[in-house]
Amino acid sequence: MPGVTHDKLDLLARLIGYDSVSARPNLALIGFIADYLSGFGIEGKILKDATGSKANLLATIGPQASGGLMLAGHTDVVPVEGQDWRSDPFTATRRDGRVYGRGACDMKGFISVALSLVPELARATLTRPVHLAFTYDEEIGCFGGAALAEIIARMDHPPGFCIVGEPTGMKVVSGHKGKLSIDGHVRGAECHSAYNDRGVNAVEIAAEIVARFRTLQKRLATEGTRDERFDPPFTTVHTGVMSGGVARNIVPRDCRFEVEIRNLPGDDPMDLLHAIEAETVEHLRVEMRRVSPDTSIRLDVQSCIPALAPGDPDEIVRQALRLSGTNRPGVVSFATEAGLYQRAGVPAIVCGPGDIAQAHRPDEYVAVEQLEKCEAFLRGMIRNQQSNPK
Ligand SMILES: [Zn+2]
């Protein structure tokens, strides 16, 4: 490709230049990566979603064999609307040893480093494969990762180990909480508020359900499972959005709300949701239907990202610890695709350049020094896999 080098900073500048905000297609970016790979004789499989506007990319370098490493990351980024940026978020800008731009740290930096290693991997005689797994729509529910995890679970030669390069400051993270996202919708029955005994107030019904989630949070915080490695050390529940009604003097017909449960690896968030359905929502449904049969309550699962359960560090995790200079593996409270890959049978850690505090913010950046650390880390991990094939 004209003008494209395999330098990680050039690659990062190219990737930042694609506006791959989750709401928009990512095909141009995925096409760029596929073209880049084909320049080194590597086929990147483009796996489109049902709409055809988004795609994952899966590529295997080296032999068709089980084991080896999978380097995984998402290509989408969060929006920039309403944020005050010093420079254009979709133009990589270098200042003070940092690269600024949307996705610089979350997580186009990691993808650039992985891609910069492709020429040397293509030249090398690998005994174990290196897989590249780049996804869409991570930021809005890990939809690409969920689709890719299904493919990986059915692979004849699955990867032996996965590194998800979310920003951890290049520290090894071996556990994270899961995340269940729930879309709530109460359909009530509208009427004049002076005669509210003839209607069903959707806002008030939704408020009861939201309050029930709040009670659940209190119970989890005081008497739920505790795992002191996590902050906070319990499963969290929260309502982030609620909207309904049109005027004070109209009994509202609709109310929508968005709840999330961020669960410890030992807790099953679906059990918690089912309990709320059985103990609260069912009774409310009966109550509402007594007034109007056209009423309803929906609690739809928008997405479900499993937790990454930290195990005892095995040899490969110990290698990662040594190479990254981490004393012991950490845990984080944000969810990543690593939980999906672990559930698909591939042991996974999270380790990538940049600070999560930089992610999703205006003037997002990654330090060049972090990219260099990542490069040395990935080289070491790949080398170890070759000499100690799993
Ligand atoms: Zn991310």
Which residue, among 270, 275, 178, 259, has the nearest Cα to 219 in the 3D structure? 275
Phi, psi of 364 (to 5 degrees): -55, 140
Question: Mutual orientation of helices 109-116 and 368-387 as an angle, nearest 10°?
Answer: 50
Q: What is the CATH number of domain 179-304?
A: 3.30.70.360
Catalytic residue among 10, 19, 35, 76: 76
With b for 16 or more beta-carbon neighbours within 10 A and e for fewer, the 367-381 pattern comes to bbebbebbbebbeeb
Which residue, among 252, 165, 242, 135, has the nearest Cα to 200 in the 3D structure? 252
The confidence score (pLDDT) of residue 96 equals 94
Q: What is the CATH number of domain 8-175+306-387?
A: 3.40.630.10
- What is the longest distance spanned by two Cα atoms in the chain? 80
The Å distance, Cα 259 to ligand 1 centre, comes to: 20
For the question of residue 7 being annotated catalytic, the response is: no
DSSP annotation of 43: P
For the question of residue 106 being annotated catalytic, the response is: no
Q: How far apart are CA 135 and CA 157, in angstroms?
A: 20
Ranges of CATH 3.30.70.360 domains, the chain: 179-304
**Six token digits for residue 91:** 């133009």
Catalytic residue among 137, 138, 190, 337: 138
The Å distance, Cα 107 to ligand 1 centre, comes to: 5
Ranges of CATH 3.40.630.10 domains, the chain: 8-175+306-387
> pLDDT under 70 in the chain at which residues?
1-4, 387-390
Whether cis (ω within 30° of 0) applies to the bond prior to 170 is: no
The confidence score (pLDDT) of residue 389 equals 46
The Å distance, Cα 139 to ligand 1 centre, comes to: 7
CA dihedral 361, 102, 359, 105 (to 10 degrees): -150
The Å distance, Cα 48 to ligand 1 centre, comes to: 20
15-33 pLDDT, tens digit each: 999 999 998 999 999 999 9
The Å distance, Cα 273 to ligand 1 centre, comes to: 26
